[in-house]
Chain A
Amino acid sequence: MARIHLDQIRHSYLASPSAEDDWALKRLDLEWRDGGAYALLGPSGCGKTTLLNIISGLLQPTEGRVVFDGTDMTEVPPEARNIAQVFQFPVIYDTMTVYDNLAFPLRNRGMEERGVDARVREIADMLDLTETLGNRAAGLTADGKQKISLGRGLVRSDVNVIMFDEPLTVIDPHLKWVLRSKLKELHQRIARTMIYVTHDQTEALTFADRVVVMHEGQVVQSGTPVELFEKPQHTFVGHFIGSPGMNVLPCMIDSGKCYFAGAEIKTSNTVSAGSKDTAYEIGIRPEFVKLSRKGIAVEIVKVADAGRYRIVEAQRDGHTIRLLAKEDAEVPGRGTAHVSFDPGHTQIYANGWLA
């Protein structure tokens, strides 16, 4: 159990990084509360796994410190950090039984057999593995194997943090849901810090209390799922989370007012005076764009049925605006229409960041 602080961490896989792009992980300072359920979300290659490996100690950061409860752990090897990690592809010891797999981390640490037995049975019960304890681990299905690798982490009572590196990749779709609920349930039961790495927003938003969104080696936002949805700090977050993602439209700032396509747009935040070197954009989620009598004239180009609602794709001056229309709402198939933006959910972004 520990509060984890990543103190001014920076990492590069190159020997002597010079350009900004040489850093796989740009400078960041993050704190993980003890017992929290976190998700690390971002597209492939954004530095999620690098960050995870720095916490687990499989990787030494080029700069900065890893601090567990005030103790500097930067130089401490993974086996001494008391962490557990579940990998993308299930790692099991083929020749051992399920029981021996679960007992392995305890036996390696010289725990006496009676204690091992009690822990293994407790964890097996938690993961519904009791019936298979005597079986050879190699014969299990992918989700069973993934449970074993999770179990090997849980079995140690002193684990500081359990990390998951896209653990559901090889699991069948109908079992993903089951395993994900199991994780959530386990988190509530054992109250350990869990960090869940994924590029799937559904997995991240359903698992975590707090989601850390990464993009090109940077943390762009860290917040609750609701915050990420309603107040994206960066256009990338708006785009990456939500389906379809946030509309991002270029706008002009003139004496504290914001204009798009010649019309003034009311927004929740304001920029007093626009600077010439800055690119300003407005961001609005499709959920908050309405078809209306008046407003900005647009050309509807596509209407896609997504079940309970329809996704309407419209264009104005070459910029695409998507909006969601209820199933029963009247949507003109093609041609000109007018849309209006909900001012409370329209934000101005300067160079990608919330102004």
Chain B
Amino acid sequence: MIRKTTNQKGWLFVAPVVLLVAFNAVIPLMTVVNYSIQETFGDNVFFFEGVKWFEEVLHSERFHAALMRQLAFTGMILAIEVPLGVAIALAMPRKGPWVSVCLVLMALPLLIPWNVVGAMWNIFALPDIGLLGRTINALGIDYNFTRQPGSAWFTLILMDVWHWTSLVVLLAYAGLSSIPDAFYQAAKIDGAGAWAIFRYIQLPKMKRVLTIAILLRFMDSFMIYTEPFVLTGGGPGNSTTLLSIDLVKIALGQFDLGPAAAMSLIYFLIILLLSWVFYTLMTRNEAN
């Protein structure tokens, strides 16, 4: 039997954190909730509107289109970055002087500020002066990311893969390094081939870190703003207008605070829901 003791003094220790979280998360969130159910024309004059903005956002084709683009973007980068990251981690050396060289090279993209990444790729991909843009055009492919939606998407995905695959690599590599040599030796003696070693030793040992990697990449890519904003600004047309870019257009471009607030909350709930689904799916085996 475990006897629970109540100690009210414990609250004193938690209070500073509660206060901090209240100021940086709860209060701003409540402000958004406040905006989402009212209409304002400035001058701090508000009219109560109920769930009108929520209905409007949920039925708006513009929102649907942005959500679809967002899902497509996140789906694609996950489908590329996770397998690619695992493959690179498997190919990296486990011992010797090259380990640190590889790790530093891998970490470099993660250290570059997001808007710089966007600017770099913008220039890199320009069809007239950029190295990438000129090379692709020199190969005989008509490529212009400022005019063709396909080219814009290609550049956007390539940029994100370049920027974030390293995170998956580093996490997967950490998982691989934690496997003792005896496992590989036993597998060798058991006559396991390379695929069996991957399937039954490496993948299970990487599962935890990959769960974290997938969750982080999902959340970050779903909220991505700076890089596509700098690279394409959501264009050409609306073709790369992801949810966050659309949100900023509504809130700051059109100054529709009510709909923007409602959209923010829906956006937030979608991320929360999908994260929960991902997490539950990936950890359900451990429970039984």
Contacts and interface: CB of A to CB of B under 8 A. Distances in A.
Interface string A55-92: 01010000000000000000001110001110111010
B191 A105 contact: yes
B200 interface: yes
A325 B189 CA distance: 50
B186 A149 contact: yes
B186 A87 contact: yes
A-B pairs with the 4 shortest C-beta distances? Answer: A108-B191, A91-B186, A87-B182, A105-B190
Contacts, number: 52
Interface residues of A, number: 23
Interface residues of B, number: 17
Interface stretch (A93-101, A207-215, A250-258): A93-101
A77 B201 CA distance: 20
A353 interface: no
Given A78-B185, A94-B205, 11 more contacts: A58-B185, A83-B189, A87-B182, A87-B186, A89-B182, A93-B201, A104-B200, A105-B189, A105-B190, A149-B186, A153-B189
Contact of A108 (B185, B190, B201): B190
A56 B189 contact: yes
B172 to A, nearest CB: 17
A104 B204 contact: no
Interface string B152-170: 0000000000000000000
B200 A96 contact: yes
Contacts of B191: 79, 105, 108-109
A81 to B, nearest CB: 8
B188 A87 contact: no
25 contacts: A56-B185, A56-B189, A58-B185, A58-B188, A78-B189, A79-B188, A83-B189, A85-B189, A87-B182, A87-B186, A88-B182, A89-B180, A89-B182, A91-B183, A93-B201, A93-B204, A94-B204, A96-B200, A104-B200, A105-B190, A105-B191, A108-B196, A109-B191, A149-B186, A153-B189
Contacts of B80: none
Interface of B: 180, 182-183, 185-186, 188-193, 196, 200-201, 204-205, 285
Nearest to A152: B190
A109 B193 CA distance: 10
Contacts of B204: 93-95
Contacts of A109: 191
Nearest to A105: B190
A85 B186 contact: yes
Contacts of B189: 56, 78-79, 83-85, 105, 153
Interface in A20-77: 56, 58, 77
B51 to A, nearest CB: 47
B182 A78 contact: no
Contacts of A58: 185, 188
Contacts of A149: 186
Contacts of A108: 190-193, 196
Contacts of A78: 185, 188-189
